[in-house]
Structure 1
């Protein structure tokens, strides 16, 4: 198990989490396929994940398991200690285009985030994050979100 340093304060560090979440669906509506977009600073999951988890809404609860495409990230351990709690890291070899990360919190839910490549420019990342927000909030959100996950035009 790897012990990760606590996430830096977003106000005091230029390396704060780069995360955009879409509003949660109203009661009775179908859940979205993508809940937001995350732009990590590097492919080092062990250093990036604590920042991400520290930037999530408290209502999401404690994330205990994370599923990621191992091809996107540098080698990482099976477990990581984040804020004095163990987070299980699970790998998938099924490549998604674009890449996603799945966060699981027992009793609270599952959240899927689009992963913006760390090497993306500010403009590229902004476009991807905006496209994600538009796709999941548009009138055909289910079809458009699925197209985004496959790398299609969405519509």
Structure 2
């Protein structure tokens, strides 16, 4: 009996364009599972041309249930280490030619639209946003988008109610912008 293996799927990877602007991240990776032994080989293969041969990888074990010490890749072995102090949403990859490559790791269960936003945000040249900040921002954006959809659903019900003779909804309040009030030129106190 012959067992046929399906070829591994290509890594879902987006890299920052080469510029003189150095940022905190070199790109983003969206693995399909939390199994490093399965997910690392396609990532390492995808990074071979832009980064050279990846020889070492560092992760935070918070996001990975099993962290193998070595993972076979095409033609070599990748040594994997873990550090609790490292940002759990970031992976550090080391190669002999380029040096270090820091990637935002997007959780496998992330919705495609959110993953696309994260990939775009992580590849902005010169960005000073850390991996954890991008993930927090996306979580907040995702909540706002879900709230907006719920609000639209509620509004469609209000529109039907309004058409049947109900009262108008209260006006929308404007959010406060910033934490301080800045006096307008006409309202500022004059010095004597």
Both structures adopt the same fold (TM-score exceeding 0.5): yes
Q: Which has the higher helix share?
A: 2
Indicate the residue corresponding to 1:125 in structure 2: 115
* Residues 1:80 and 2:71 aligned together: yes
Shift in CA distance, 74/131, structure 1 to aligned 2, threshold 3 Å: same
Distance 2:24 2:97 in 1: 19
Question: What residue is the counterpart of 1:94 in the other structure?
Answer: 85
Q: Structure 2: which 5+ residue stretches go unaligned?
A: 138-192
SS where residue 55 of structure 1 aligns? helix
CA distance in 1, matches of 2:7, 2:75: 12
Check whether the contact 1:64–1:88 (CA below 8 A) recurs between aligned residues: yes
Shift, 1:107, TM fit: 3.8
Give how far 1:17 is off: 1.0
After TM superposition, the score normalised by the length of structure 2 is 0.61
The residue that corresponds to 1:51 in the other structure is 42
Deviation of 1:76 (Å): 2.5
TM-score using structure 1 length: 0.74
Report the count of equivalent residues.
132
Quick one: higher RCO (CA 8 Å, sep 6+), 1 or 2? Answer: 1
User: Residue deviations 1:53-108, cap 9 Å, x none?
Assistant: 111151411111000111111212211121131111010112526x0111100242
Gaps of 5+ in 1: 9-14
Query: Where in structure 2 are the equivalents of 1:1-155 lying within 5 Å?
Result: 8=8, 15-26=9-20, 29=21, 31-94=22-85, 96=87, 99-133=89-123, 136-137=124-125, 141-143=126-128, 145-146=129-130, 148-151=131-134
- Alpha carbon RMSD of aligned pairs, Å? 2.3
User: Which one has a bigger Cα radius of gyration?
Assistant: 2
